A and B are shown apart, each in its own frame.
Chain A
Amino acid sequence: MKLLTGNDLKTGFVTWWTGADWSLHIEDAADVGEQGEAILAVEEAARRVNAPYIIAGEQTADGPRPAHIKDRIRALGPTVRPDLTLKPADPAAGDWVI
């Protein structure tokens, strides 16, 4: 699957294209398939998200999972500060990254 991601203009937070809008949660990310470039162009013009780009991912039982570790760290947060990730109460969240 292909995912569209970027950083929110105002906060800089990592954000994922849901098919209709942007979400901070990778679980909401939609497979943009072959439409990625077209969506990217529209969203860049809207100037809500910084430097959006398309990445490869896979659909898992837990939802979309980026192919590259860098994007998995982006999706969750720093592996060395579980308290600052999007899942601070989940002790196994880091396993999803590595």
Chain B
Amino acid sequence: MYKYDEYDHAMVAARVAEFSDQVKRRLAGEITEDQFKPLRLMNGLYLQLHAYMLRVAVPYGTLDSRQMRMLAHIARKYDRDYGHFTTRQNIQYNWIKLEDAPAILADLASVEMHAIQTSGNCIRNISSDQWAGAAADEITDPRPWAELLRQWSSFHPEFSYLPRKFKIAVIAAEEDRAAMRLHDIGIQIVEKDGAHGAAFYVGGGMGRTPMIAPLIKDFVPLDDLLSYTEACLRVYNRYGRRDNIYKARIKILIHELGADEYRRQVEEEFSHVKSLGIDPPKAEFDRIAAQFAMPPLDASAPDAIDRSDPDFAVWVDQNVAAHKVPGHAIVNISLKPVGGIPGDASSAQIDVMADLAERYSHDELRVTHAQNIVLPHVRKADLYAIWQALDAAGLATPNLDLISDIIACPGLDYCSLANARSIPVAQKIATRFSDLGRQKELGELKLKISGCINACGHHHAGHIGILGVDRKGTENYQLLLGGSGAEDVSLGTITGPGFDEDGIVDAIERVTDKYLAERSEGERFVDTFRRVGMAPFKEAIYG
């Protein structure tokens, strides 16, 4: 894992001191809210429905146990004993007091964490594959490149006031576990003629105008990665619209220019940027990459798993994934208990996961964009002990990628932008489909719920998506089918008129029943939908 150097420490410490002073001035009434708001947002501090909300960055979703324990400590000491893991691989606290914010940021800094650039029109937290460094199908660990981009983008003077926020994802496997093509820039490390390079997909995003990022360049030599990224940003920063917030994202610029013209401008800019020498010397990249070296895993560790406990076997089948080193596995911890709040974890649960990481996973954890937690480097021989500890903590729900593994934004229960509640809908759906046999019969089914058009719950990318809207002061839910955030990326299509809270749950049951009636051998829900189209589902829903 990356460890801060003296520059990182100095930058974060300086920001804590600066923000502490700004908070002091605000509390003393020396500055107005209009003056203070952009300053607090630069430090991840929002004002939501019930209190201040602090969004803490978890770079590319990677944490060690010390950092995870600090997240639990903050939940316990400054919040209401829980945190909410987000679709940006971050964590949010919902009940922060302004007067506590400087102390929280100081606590975070003590474990090499911060909340910088988790808001505002800047380059946000770089996201990545939650299985990076462990996945059997990756060609390399993408995180050194994500870390390089983190360092480059932190306090980047040219990109601190972009037309709009900017999100970058980096992956290095064919299977896309990071919704890469739904980012402003999606980078996939690829192999060509024995060399690694980066495929650049630019102009994706969800929100009000969802778009899948087109391929702008299929192979950028990794020595040019920063320069090419900078060129992509420069063209956007120069021509992205600042007159209309709804048209300010890069996806709109590329849509209006056309991918070919955008590519031409980027290439032109790149030829200039490359002469500036911003790409790091190989020794500097090697220094970063060395910190992501695979931990010393014993490849001769036993591969067999004792499956004599049936509940354990069910969990292994659903929540444990292949690791690149024999005798090892990737553990996916679901934060989606039936009837629970997707992505929420109590301080005690966060501590349990930290303890398990320290004891069994070479001190590493990951946050996933699906609002779950991963222990990336686990010996198969330790799986049973891990499962027992998770089960005791209410963290052993065996539902990864099943219909109850729902992504849901905080919605109107917490968020000042939301139009409708997301969490109660997620709870009702998970409860309706609580029978695990029924869930497994349905197979992989990614259900995603957003409480407003901003799409923090990724509803456009759900096999089944739900969008909460405000219809004359009451909550109403639109249903979308056929989306995907994975390598088979697609955007969902609205089925028709919306539903109330109970009606949307019934509608989903009609959709899944129709799927079971229509599916061919081996088809997932989304495969069947793509084959038969919307009509039979619409008929099932509306009659």
The interface of chain A, by Cβ under 8 A from chain B, is 7, 9-14, 47, 50-51, 67-70, 73-74, 77-81, 84
Closest to A70 in B: B412
Contact with A along B158-176 (1 / 0, CB 8 A): 0000000000000000000
Task: Flag the segment in B96-104, B149-157, B198-206 that touches A.
Answer: B96-104
14 CB contacts below 8 A, A to B, read A10-B27, A11-B51, A12-B47, A12-B51, A12-B98, A14-B49, A50-B47, A73-B413, A77-B50, A78-B413, A79-B413, A79-B424, A80-B413, A84-B80
B424-452 at interface with A (beta carbon < 8 Å): 424, 427
User: What would 20 more interface pairs be, CB under 8 Å, given A9-B27, A51-B47?
Assistant: A10-B27, A10-B98, A12-B47, A12-B96, A14-B49, A47-B29, A50-B47, A51-B33, A67-B473, A68-B473, A69-B412, A69-B475, A70-B49, A73-B412, A77-B50, A80-B421, A80-B423, A81-B413, A84-B80, A84-B95
> Which chain A residues border B50 with CB–CB below 8 Å?
12-14, 74, 77-78
> Which chain A residues border B99 with CB–CB below 8 Å?
10-11
Contact of B33 among A10, A50, A77 (CB under 8 A): A50
Shortest Cβ distance from residue B427 to the other chain A in the assembled complex, whole angstroms: 7
Is the CB–CB distance between A12 and B473 below 8 Å?
no
B356 interface hit (Cβ, 8 Å):
no
> Which chain B residues border A50 with CB–CB below 8 Å?
33, 47
Q: How far is the CA of A61 from the CA of B49 in the complex (A)?
A: 25
> Which chain A residues border B29 with CB–CB below 8 Å?
47
Q: How far is the CA of A50 from the CA of B52 in the complex (A)?
A: 11
> Which chain A residues border B26 with CB–CB below 8 Å?
9
> Which chain B residues border A11 with CB–CB below 8 Å?
51, 97-99
Is the CB–CB distance between A10 and B97 below 8 Å?
yes
Q: How many residues on chain B are close to A (CB under 8 Å)?
A: 29
> Which chain B residues border A74 with CB–CB below 8 Å?
49-50
Shortest Cβ distance from residue A45 to the other chain B in the assembled complex, whole angstroms: 9
> Which chain A residues border B32 with CB–CB below 8 Å?
47
B377-421 at interface with A (beta carbon < 8 Å): 412-414, 418, 421
Shortest Cβ distance from residue A71 to the other chain B in the assembled complex, whole angstroms: 9
Is the CB–CB distance between A12 and B412 below 8 Å?
no
Shortest Cβ distance from residue B94 to the other chain A in the assembled complex, whole angstroms: 8
B341 interface hit (Cβ, 8 Å):
yes
B20-51 at interface with A (beta carbon < 8 Å): 26-27, 29, 32-33, 47-51
> Which chain A residues border B474 with CB–CB below 8 Å?
69
The interface of chain B, by Cβ under 8 A from chain A, is 26-27, 29, 32-33, 47-52, 80, 95-99, 341, 412-414, 418, 421, 423-424, 427, 473-475
Q: How far is the CA of A9 from the CA of B37 in the complex (A)?
A: 12
Q: How far is the CA of A10 from the CA of B99 in the complex (A)?
A: 6
> Which chain B residues border A14 with CB–CB below 8 Å?
49-50
> Which chain B residues border A13 with CB–CB below 8 Å?
50-51
The winner among B413, B423, B424 for most chain A CB atoms within 10 A is B413
Closest to A84 in B: B80
Q: How far is the CA of A12 from the CA of B315 in the complex (A)?
A: 41
> Which chain A residues border B48 with CB–CB below 8 Å?
12
> Which chain A residues border B413 with CB–CB below 8 Å?
73, 78-81
Q: How far is the CA of A80 from the CA of B97 in the complex (A)?
A: 21
Q: How far is the CA of A7 from the CA of B97 in the complex (A)?
A: 11
Closest to B475 in A: A69
Q: How far is the CA of A95 from the CA of B473 in the complex (A)?
A: 16
Q: How far is the CA of A69 from the CA of B413 in the complex (A)?
A: 10
Decide: A80 near B47, CB < 8 A? Known: A11-B97, A12-B96, A69-B473.
Answer: no
Q: How far is the CA of A80 from the CA of B96 in the complex (A)?
A: 19
Closest to A71 in B: B49
Q: How far is the CA of A54 from the CA of B95 in the complex (A)?
A: 23
Is the CB–CB distance between A80 and B49 below 8 Å?
no
> Which chain B residues border A70 with CB–CB below 8 Å?
49, 412, 418
Is the CB–CB distance between A9 and B98 below 8 Å?
yes
Shortest Cβ distance from residue B338 to the other chain A in the assembled complex, whole angstroms: 14
Q: How far is the CA of A43 from the CA of B308 in the complex (A)?
A: 67
Is the CB–CB distance between A80 and B427 below 8 Å?
yes
Q: How far is the CA of A13 from the CA of B95 in the complex (A)?
A: 8
Decide: A7 near B27, CB < 8 A? Known: A69-B475, A80-B341, A84-B80.
Answer: no
Closest to A46 in B: B29
Q: How far is the CA of A77 from the CA of B435 in the complex (A)?
A: 31
> Which chain A residues border B418 with CB–CB below 8 Å?
70
5 closest Cβ pairs, A-B complex: A12-B51, A12-B52, A78-B413, A47-B29, A80-B423
Decide: A7 near B475, CB < 8 A? Known: A47-B32, A73-B412.
Answer: no
Contact of A73 among B27, B49, B97 (CB under 8 A): B49
Q: How far is the CA of A73 from the CA of B33 in the complex (A)?
A: 23
> Which chain B residues border A69 with CB–CB below 8 Å?
412, 473-475
Q: How far is the CA of A53 from the CA of B99 in the complex (A)?
A: 23
> Which chain B residues border A80 with CB–CB below 8 Å?
341, 413, 421, 423-424, 427
Q: How far is the CA of A77 from the CA of B47 in the complex (A)?
A: 15
Is the CB–CB distance between A78 and B414 below 8 Å?
yes
Shortest Cβ distance from residue A14 to the other chain B in the assembled complex, whole angstroms: 6
Q: How far is the CA of A47 from the CA of B27 in the complex (A)?
A: 9
